[in-house]
Structure 1
Amino acid sequence: MQFKIILKIFVISILIYSCSKNETKKSTITQKSLDLQILEAYQEGMKNLKEGDVIFAAKKFNEVETMFPQSIWAPKSSLMAAYSYYVQDYYSEAIAELVRFKRVYPTHNNLDYANYLLSLCYYEQIVDETKDLESILNSKQSFESLINNYPNSEYSIDAKFKLDLIEDILAAKELYIGRYYLEKKKWISAINRFKVIINDYDNSIYVEEALHRLVEIYYIIGLKEESFKYAKLLGYNYRTSKWYEQSYKIFNKKYEIKKKERQKEKKKEIKVLNKFKSIFD
């Protein structure tokens, strides 16, 4: 009787061990299968991206993230989906992906890259200074955020360069509007636009013209001292500029006459030199 009890315990132990082993094996196989599915979906996305089918590539990357949100591949796939849209200029889709990435993965180590790519999406939609300001301002804000939050990032170097270009574009827009007001003789509105360039975009290439326009307007409306102040400022900083020459003409009415006289004298000198040179030919 005792033997039967011992045998029964032994058989039960074997069955428990066997089930436990099968369960472990099943779990291992499932895990391997899961990893394989993730890898296959990601690789398929990369393959389609290289072949130029960005829509399907983005779909496969999104599939990885949706099916396996806890995987380390999820945030990477999200970024790759955004990049897939970006390379084919689907900026709205790329921006939507990147905004979501920043919300879902606020502490991810590639957040600087996400911010950089988002900035580029805005930046590359800039047409020129006469068009809508939205893309320009969004790009400026996004690049500034990148530089402030990730000053040591490799992407911040290019962000600083692009910010300089954006400032030139914003200054150009102010100049474009200022010229319009000047043409329409809306003096105060024009003055305000040109002053924005001097005060806010003093490193831009448009400061010289903005200073000259202020010289011009103040002279026209009879504020000679104010006009002279800006002419002096222009001469101090940009003495060799063509705009300083234009401003100088405003205060020296005989300048153009003297300039023509100098040009005539120069032509005479050249004729004499050519004549002298012909002696030795």
Structure 2
Amino acid sequence: MLRSDAAGNALGAGRLKRMIRYTSLAVALVVAGCATKDDVDDLALDETPAEVMFNEALALRAAGDVEDAANKFSELDRVYPYSEFARKSLINIAYLNFKMGNHSEAIAAAERFTTLYPGNEDSAYALFIIGESYFRQIPDVGRDQAVTGKALQAMREVIQRYPDSEYTKQARQRVRATEDQLAGKEMEVGRYYLTRRNYLASINRFKVVVTNYQTTRHVEEALYRLTESYYALGVVNEAQTAAAVLGHNFPQSEWYQDAYSLLQKGGLEPQESKGSWLSRAFGNMKLL
């Protein structure tokens, strides 16, 4: 059956556009002086319709062929970059790379998705993939925690931007875990300075824990270490306030018993100083 002139013209126009795109890419490589025959062949665009390519990729994913599925979605995104199927492919690229443990690739695809489609219903999932990819790379507390900070930032963004999404609950769990990790790092560095009697440096580290990570398991020790550091410096009012805050919030804590004993050696007791930053940090503190 012969095509109509209109249909033939439309088909011809589509082929012309693809040829222009292919030729432009090939010329760019030739001008750069780095093209080989294989390079040019690799640039050949698949003329399979976007919907067919998308369904092929879905079939590969359903069959468990994760790597080939990711490659097929990537090819679709390259050939039809502004199509509806490219958008659907991009979130699949992020997911499949995350599943394969290719965290950098997953993050790159998910970040591109959130940039191009910020209002899309899948943006919450893309942002969660970013946070979870960073979370899976968190090192032990003795190493640099830059990745931990990125995981925390992404998970907080999930909660703030998409509070009703299905990913919010797990994002909250990740926030607690990352905050605990970051607090643990501050404690490690603070203890290092404390053992070397660099009390001002140790106070700065423990202050971060008390100010930013009050809900973590490290805050009790941080308050005790502040009592210890301030007492060693002779800043008695801050030492007493740190102990008072510790006793009010964690009266059964062994750290509080240690803080109380330390002050008693100098004839002191826990007592709030209203001008202390600790009083402001913990709000309405009840005195013991």
Superposition TM-score, scaled by structure 1 size: 0.73
Report the 3-state secondary structure (helix = DSSP H, G, I; strand = E; otherwise coil) of the residue aligned with 2:192. Answer: helix
Instruction: Tell me if 1:75 matches 2:87.
Output: yes
Checking the alignment, whether the CA contact within 8 Å between 2:50 and 2:85 is kept in structure 1 is no
Separation of aligned partners in 1, 2:255 and 2:164: 40
Match of 1:251 among 263, 267, 271: 263
Counterpart in the other structure of 1:266: none
Distance between the aligned counterparts of 2:205 and 2:231, measured in 1? Answer: 17
Partner of 2:127: 115
Which one has a larger percent helix, Structure 1 or Structure 2? 1
Q: Name whichever of 171-180 and 100-109 sits farther off.
A: 100-109
Find out whether 1:46 has 2:61 as its counterpart: yes
The answer on 1:185 being equivalent to 2:228 is no
Task: Flag structure 1 segments of 5+ consecutive residues without an equivalent.
Answer: 1-17, 254-281
- Match status 1:62 vs 2:74: yes
CA distance in 2, matches of 1:149, 1:233: 34
Q: Is the 8 A contact 2:53 2:72 kept in 1?
A: no
Q: Deviations along 1:188-232, whole A, 9 cap, x unmatched?
A: 000111111111111111111011111112222223333222222
Q: Distance in 1 between matches of 2:201 and 2:7?
A: 80
Question: Given the alignment of the two structures, is residue 232 of structure 1 paired with residue 247 of structure 2, yes or no?
Answer: no
Q: Per the alignment, do residues 226 and 43 of structure 1 end up closer, same or farther by CA in structure 2, a change over 3 Å counting?
A: closer
Structure (1 or 2) with the larger CA radius of gyration: 1
Q: Does 1:200 align with 2:215?
A: no
Q: How many residues align?
A: 230
Query: Is the deviation greater in 217-226 or in 34-43?
Result: 34-43
Gap change, CA 1:229 and 1:84, over 3 Å in 2: same
Distance 1:21-1:191 versus aligned 2 partners, 3 A rule: closer
Q: Once the 2 structures are TM-superposed, how far is the Cα of residue 22 of structure 1 from its aligned partner?
A: 10
CA distance, structure 2, for counterparts of residue 229 and residue 19 of structure 1 = 87
Counterpart of 1:133 (choices 125, 130, 145) is 145
Counterpart of 1:99 in 2: which secondary structure? helix
Query: Percent identity, aligned pairs only?
Result: 34
* Paired AA for residue 120 in structure 2: H
Equivalent position amino acid for 1:183 in 2 = T
Task: Tell me the residue number matched to 1:209.
Answer: 221
Q: Is the 8 A contact 1:38 1:68 kept in 2?
A: no
Residue in 2 aligned with 1:172? Answer: 184
Structure 2 vs 1, CA of residues 193 and 36 (structure 1 numbering), >3 Å: closer, same or farther? closer
Structure 1 residue 71, shift from structure 2 partner: 4.0
Structure 1 residue aligned with 2:168: 156
The equivalent residue for 1:242 is 254
TM-score, normalising length from structure 2?
Answer: 0.71
Q: Which runs of 5+ in 2 are unaligned?
A: 15-47, 266-288
Distance 1:183 1:105, change over 3 A: same
Amino acid at match of 1:231: A
Structure 1 vs Structure 2 CA RMSD: 2.8
Partner of 2:232: 220
Shift in alpha-carbon separation, 1:218–1:76, aligned structure 2, 3 A: same
